[in-house]
Structure 1
Amino acid sequence: MKTYAPRSAFLPTTQEDLHVRSWDQIDIAFISADAYVDHPSFGAPLLARLLESEGYRVGIIAQPDWNSTKDFLKMGKPRLCCMISGGNIDSMVSHYTANNKPRSEDEYSPGGKARLRPDRPTLVYTAKARQAYGSSVPIIIGGLEASLRRLSHYDYWTDKVRKPIILDAKADLLVYGMGERQSLEIVKRLDQGEAIQNMVDIKGTVYATSRAKFQQDLMSTIELPSFEEVGDRDKQSNTPTEQGKQAYAKAFQIQLMHQNPIRGKRIIQACMDRLVVQNPPALPLDEEQFDRLYELPFTLDAHPDYQKDGGVPALNEVQFSLTSNRGCYGSCSFCAITSHQGRMIQTRSKASLIKEAQRMTQHPAFKGYIHDLGGPTANFQGLACDQQIENGPCPAKECLWPKPCSNLKDYHGRYLDLLQALEAVKGVKKVFIRSGIRYDYLLEVCDKQTRERFMHHLVQNNVSGQLKVAPEHVSPAALDAMGKPTAELFDAFSTLYQDATEQAGKKQYLIPYFIAAHPGSTLEDAITLALYLEKTHFIPDQVQEFYPTPGTVSTCMYYTGLDPRPGKRFTSIHIPKGRERHLQRALLQYNKPENRALVLEALEKANRKDLTRVLLARRYTS
């Protein structure tokens, strides 16, 4: 992929870049486990550009060699601080499949090359940065990897509970969530001469202290079960105890109920002789702040240094996409967006999106197609309800699950208005939708007239042959555990989509995503899904096998065997593990010859050999 912007348009990455700017020192060293792509979809450059806009001198150190301090010192010692991010996605997910097998590619590295970052880069980079800069330079960790490990957490790759990452990393401060407000405040206070150890009151941050030094009077506080309690293991068998699992589920539920930037409380958790303190989440950005962020001078290119490698693959999908919203109240158990971005939707103005689209059309590589307009969920285009303005999200009630709340507001008219406005921009041929669409929100909250207008416009203008949606399963028990709508709603949307497509005179397809072996899904549930696929004549090319990553409800279920969601009362839940995971996955692709033995085994285990002819007989004739 060609880089069109000159090197001088990027943030500095070398000593030579500093000389061009006549800088003798950088204020902030921003270290990232991703390659440097100057695009707002990449977290580290987004924050770095924001800090630059406030007059700070920011240098980017992308994917440094962690075997020495050389790369960490290539722009010298930063004046104010070092900020470290593990990258846009979790490094362990980047390196390993759901079955813990090494991946051969890394889309966030030059040329897609694997292993240009270490496992757990937040820990590795922090140790090396401390060695390079000494104790006088504050080290702040953030990004997805740190954000979702901010308190004691189950680690799938070691199959145990790990300490809060700030203790493992020995960092001075942790920023969780998207980080704009926190980063600006931290740097401003450092610039004014305040010690990092005194910054104990910043929303959206985590710090470590001793119980003796902890100031109880700062704000109301809730204490979680300790690291030792949630990670308790039997000394003889070295397996988690039931008491430990119950403590873990209780701790997770408390965290879940206080992810509220308006009324959330401070949370503390003891770990050995330390106390980890999580301040309430940062306030969401208002429209003006959100607009300003995405109007910063991004080049929309990967750094020129990567041109010889063919660029950075992760840019391909997002280079000409527009972010219109942030946050999600979709309730999906397996998703960590609510733990990172929050449940309160933040949106940009139409004028700002038009301005960005106009600038995008001037990029030499732009061909007239905006690849996406949305965010975590495209059709969530405003606060779920007016009550969130003063109270934030309900602590013990979800917006969409098990049924949509009566206070839920409809924004499909706003989204349609945005689509039409961007389609009218000179130089734009099409605006596609690749972000997830919650069809239950469309069907159950949107009025009929708006729904029909939206669907007509969608199939006529915003689908490039296929629309991808995520029903995930069809079994009621599995869907309930996932926090997803019923299969009947997916069928209703499928019918609506096909009818609208036929009326538009187009041949377009609906591609559903499914998850195998999610907590709550039994072998019988997997068979139910296989029969549904047989009935609808759809076999997915790819099946996502449940991956227990930090920060999700589903991962808590996987480790504890308990449902931690408020109202579920920690009820026991079936957890597919070991061989059963492979059997469930095979059932979702029962037509593949390599899955025949596994499908037969699954049917035999479930006492459903009567289904052998239904699922297999017609598909393996010579």
Structure 2
Amino acid sequence: MIERPITDWLPLTKQEVEKRGWDEVDIVLVSGDAYVDHPAFGTAVIGRIMESEGFRVAIIAQPNWKDDLRDFRKFGRPKYFFGVTAGCMDSMVNHYTANKRLRSNDSYTPGGEAGFRPDYATIVYSKILKELYPDVPVLLGGIEASLRRVTHYDYWQDRLMPSILVDSGADMLVYGMGEQPLREILKLVQKGVPFTSMRTINQVAFLHDTKTGPLRDYNNWENVELASHEVCLEDKIRYAANFKIVEVESNKWQANRITQRVGDQVLVINPPFKTMDETEIDKSFDLPYTRLPHPKYKKRGPIPAYEMIKFSVNMHRGCFGGCSFCTISAHQGKFIASRSEKSVLKEVDEITKHPEFKGYISDLGGPSANMYKMKGKDESICARCQSPSCIHPVICSNLDTSHKPLTELYRKVDANPNIKKAFVGSGVRYDLLVDDFNKNNEDGNHDEYMEQLVTRHVSGRLKVAPEHTSDDTLRIMRKPSFKYFKLFKKKYDKIQDKHNLKQPLIPYFISSHPGCEEQDMANLAAETKDMGFQLEQVQDFTPTPMTVAEVIYYSGVHPYTLKPVKTAKTREEKQAQNRYFFWYKPEFKDWIRNRLNKLNRPDLAEKLVGVPKKPDAKKSSYKKPFDSRKKKR
């Protein structure tokens, strides 16, 4: 490994601050993740943006919060504010499985070691900072804060929680991808503007104390008031109705300001910024990252999340799929923010200089691998659109789904003499490649993309996510009918046969999703078995904040129709659904047969585990009678 000066990284210690010749720090970032100076890690991105704006930034990564608070004190009082994030994942998702069992590892910690961040990390860190430095503002960001910005259901406590601003005591929250609001905040703090006067910035949330007077109107925004937190505690239906408003306003370009009463305070969520253009998103990715973990972690072992992405390239953000169980559009946005070709190719060049690089890019992708450069043909229509998905129940006729820019970019990466292979490791949105579903394929570029993908960019197996086979469940998931997966597989296999390739598809499925009943899972297992799949990639549904599925799980109704939806909740119900995935395991065969016979579905039992063997007729069934005259020993 080539040694680099420690000043190439943002400071993690007081000694590193002194080596830079600083007598104080302007902003201190506190993160639940180890510090990896790479554009895939939010703390690095935020820190580098602050640095690019002329601020002196230091990072407190994975501080000890239990019994010694010296980590929080090591840089002293920052000149402007503390920034707090739980890290790249919600800390509860990071800590617990869908069955609420504690995970034994943490991918964002050296050596994959667990126990280096608290539950509800954002709240814990913020409270400690407010105790130590009560007069220093605390700004929240990251996915945990973003998805918990309003009253939300917490699966791990099985209760509604108020906005994370209430429990944390923080001064302001940036939701979504934070570059745009952050740059506005930085301009104002340099001018000496206090946080209490930063209420006109888009994409921030804050609490207004009604005792100080009425909430003022800013920027001619219209207000949309949600049912209060207290009302939501008493009425699950009102809570469900709130979600529709939040999702619609979060996805609009011309959105309203959202308000919600919480006790004597009013939660205020300002409208989001318009999706970043190429120039804006390139600025984030083109900052001077080392692309390496901080050297202090060398002795503790590799950071699994970094090892997975260190030779990958993220080409865009956002997802217009709007899947009911997914938080991507709630955090990154419905509209796609794509990097320029120049920026992507520049990053590829940077990767080739890595001392461990062997010529293989692990992923040219994004949240969905094949949404690069896709947008509305007439963006004025998009500006007025309130739909949570551009491709459900059908693909919007205004959506340009051309794969041509992506195909051309793949080819340019392939042409780099230092690249042996560039793989696509992100999940491919297969429905965009099926002509029967996607009618916006006038020039046949989808077929050209598939040929390029299958022949050049599959690393042994291709990941796709049909998620289910039941049309009723798929409608609630906001996913297309399973018949389109079958058509995609047929098209995929045809290309493989043409080129004499053997690269299996790896489909992902979810059990226990709202709207899915036990027989639906048995049908899923039988249908995929008929297609030759022995499923490995299976996931039990976890209700995460800011998703349609979470709202259904808690309230029992769909937030858009307010009609009841049945959901598996008990451990026994969830375990029963999950077992059907593993019909091929001997230990589950008798259970599956007995269970389906009880459900009056012997036909499914026969499809999955076959007919039980009859006793061997050649063996005598005679048993010698007991002889009571035998002597007892």
Q: TM-score, normalised by structure 1?
A: 0.94
Look up the match of 1:169.
168
- Are 1:548 and 1:555, in contact at CA under 8 Å, matched by a contact in 2? yes
Residue pairs, 1:167-206, within 5 angstroms: 167-206=166-205
- Are 1:263 and 1:391, in contact at CA under 8 Å, matched by a contact in 2? no
What is the letter of the counterpart of residue 321 of structure 1?
A: S
User: Counterparts of 1:552 and 1:121 in 2: how far apart (Å)?
Assistant: 21
Q: Is residue 2:263 matched to residue 1:263?
A: no
Deviations 1:90-141 (CA, angstroms, capped at 9, x unpaired):
1101110000001000001110000100000001100111223x22211001
Residue pairs, 1:451-530, within 5 angstroms: 451-530=446-525
RMSD value over aligned CA atoms? 1.9
Taking structure 1 as reference, are residues 81 and 245 closer, same or farther at Cα in structure 2, changes over 3 Å only?
A: same
Look up the match of 1:593.
586
**How big is the shift at 1:513?**
0.3
User: Counterparts of 2:238 and 2:499 in 1: how far apart (Å)?
Assistant: 55
Look up the match of 2:630.
none
- Are 1:5 and 1:301, in contact at CA under 8 Å, matched by a contact in 2? no
User: Counterparts of 2:327 and 2:567 in 1: how far apart (Å)?
Assistant: 19
Q: Residue 229 of structure 2 is aligned with which of 211, 227, 237?
A: 227
SS at 2:251 equivalent: coil
- Are 1:379 and 1:411, in contact at CA under 8 Å, matched by a contact in 2? no
User: Counterparts of 1:316 and 1:392 in 2: how far apart (Å)?
Assistant: 39
User: Counterparts of 2:34 and 2:399 in 1: how far apart (Å)?
Assistant: 40
Look up the match of 1:152.
151
Deviations 1:527-555 (CA, angstroms, capped at 9, x unpaired):
11011122112121231000101111111
What is the letter of the counterpart of residue 570 of structure 1?
A: L
Look up the match of 2:103.
103
**How big is the shift at 1:470?**
0.1
- Are 1:261 and 1:282, in contact at CA under 8 Å, matched by a contact in 2? no
**How big is the shift at 1:393?**
6.4
**How big is the shift at 1:210?**
2.2
Look up the match of 1:61.
60
What is the letter of the counterpart of residue 486 of structure 2?
A: D
Look up the match of 2:600.
607
Look up the match of 1:139.
138
Look up the match of 2:294.
303
Q: Residue 251 of structure 1 is aligned with which of 242, 250, 253?
A: 242
- Are 1:260 and 1:393, in contact at CA under 8 Å, matched by a contact in 2? no
- Are 1:545 and 1:585, in contact at CA under 8 Å, matched by a contact in 2? yes
- Are 1:260 and 1:392, in contact at CA under 8 Å, matched by a contact in 2? no
Q: Is residue 2:119 matched to residue 1:119?
A: yes
The answer to which of 402-411 and 212-221 deviates more is 212-221
What is the letter of the counterpart of residue 141 of structure 1?
A: L
**How big is the shift at 1:69?**
2.4
What is the letter of the counterpart of residue 54 of structure 1?
A: E
- Are 2:175 and 2:203, in contact at CA under 8 Å, matched by a contact in 1? yes
What is the letter of the counterpart of residue 480 of structure 1?
A: R
User: Counterparts of 1:97 and 1:3 in 2: how far apart (Å)?
Assistant: 38
Q: Residue 552 of structure 1 is aligned with which of 542, 547, 555?
A: 547
Q: Is residue 2:396 matched to residue 1:431?
A: no
Q: Is residue 2:288 matched to residue 1:293?
A: no
Equivalenced residues, count: 606
**How big is the shift at 1:391?**
4.6
User: Counterparts of 2:207 and 2:252 in 1: how far apart (Å)?
Assistant: 21
Taking structure 1 as reference, are residues 199 and 621 closer, same or farther at Cα in structure 2, changes over 3 Å only?
A: farther
Look up the match of 1:355.
346
Taking structure 1 as reference, are residues 86 and 605 closer, same or farther at Cα in structure 2, changes over 3 Å only?
A: farther
Deviations 1:139-176 (CA, angstroms, capped at 9, x unpaired):
00110000000000011011111011001101000010
SS at 2:236 equivalent: helix
User: Counterparts of 1:196 and 1:587 in 2: how far apart (Å)?
Assistant: 53
Residue pairs, 1:349-428, within 5 angstroms: 349-388=340-379, 391-392=382-383, 394-396=385-387, 398-428=389-419
The answer to which of 356-365 and 34-43 deviates more is 356-365
Taking structure 1 as reference, are residues 390 and 19 closer, same or farther at Cα in structure 2, changes over 3 Å only?
A: farther
Structure with higher Rg: it is 2
**How big is the shift at 1:449?**
2.8
Look up the match of 2:80.
80
**How big is the shift at 1:601?**
5.2
Deviations 1:485-526 (CA, angstroms, capped at 9, x unpaired):
111100011111111112112111111000001001111211
Look up the match of 2:568.
576
User: Counterparts of 1:295 and 1:550 in 2: how far apart (Å)?
Assistant: 32
Unaligned 5+ runs, structure 2: 616-633
- Are 1:262 and 1:390, in contact at CA under 8 Å, matched by a contact in 2? no
SS at 1:270 equivalent: strand
What is the letter of the counterpart of residue 572 of structure 1?
A: P
Taking structure 1 as reference, are residues 72 and 46 closer, same or farther at Cα in structure 2, changes over 3 Å only?
A: same
Taking structure 1 as reference, are residues 164 and 429 closer, same or farther at Cα in structure 2, changes over 3 Å only?
A: same
Deviations 1:190-225 (CA, angstroms, capped at 9, x unpaired):
121111111111111000012334114552100001
- Are 2:165 and 2:207, in contact at CA under 8 Å, matched by a contact in 1? yes
Look up the match of 1:236.
none
User: Counterparts of 1:543 and 1:549 in 2: how far apart (Å)?
Assistant: 17
Look up the match of 1:239.
none
Residue pairs, 1:29-44, within 5 angstroms: 29-44=28-43
SS at 1:161 equivalent: strand
What is the letter of the counterpart of residue 565 of structure 2?
A: I
SS at 1:258 equivalent: helix
Q: Is residue 2:264 matched to residue 1:281?
A: no
Q: TM-score, normalised by structure 2?
A: 0.93
Taking structure 1 as reference, are residues 187 and 528 closer, same or farther at Cα in structure 2, changes over 3 Å only?
A: same
SS at 2:417 equivalent: coil
Taking structure 1 as reference, are residues 210 and 312 closer, same or farther at Cα in structure 2, changes over 3 Å only?
A: same
Taking structure 1 as reference, are residues 116 and 387 closer, same or farther at Cα in structure 2, changes over 3 Å only?
A: same
Unaligned 5+ runs, structure 1: 233-243
User: Counterparts of 2:515 and 2:538 in 1: how far apart (Å)?
Assistant: 17
SS at 2:400 equivalent: coil
SS at 2:119 equivalent: coil
Residue pairs, 1:38-53, within 5 angstroms: 38-53=37-52
Q: Residue 342 of structure 1 is aligned with which of 304, 324, 333?
A: 333
Look up the match of 1:25.
24
- Are 2:523 and 2:604, in contact at CA under 8 Å, matched by a contact in 1? no
Taking structure 1 as reference, are residues 583 and 137 closer, same or farther at Cα in structure 2, changes over 3 Å only?
A: same
Deviations 1:336-374 (CA, angstroms, capped at 9, x unpaired):
111111111111111111111112111111111111112
The answer to which of 161-170 and 394-403 deviates more is 394-403
Deviations 1:246-279 (CA, angstroms, capped at 9, x unpaired):
1011100111111135211000001111110000
- Are 1:586 and 1:598, in contact at CA under 8 Å, matched by a contact in 2? no
What is the letter of the counterpart of residue 46 of structure 1?
A: V
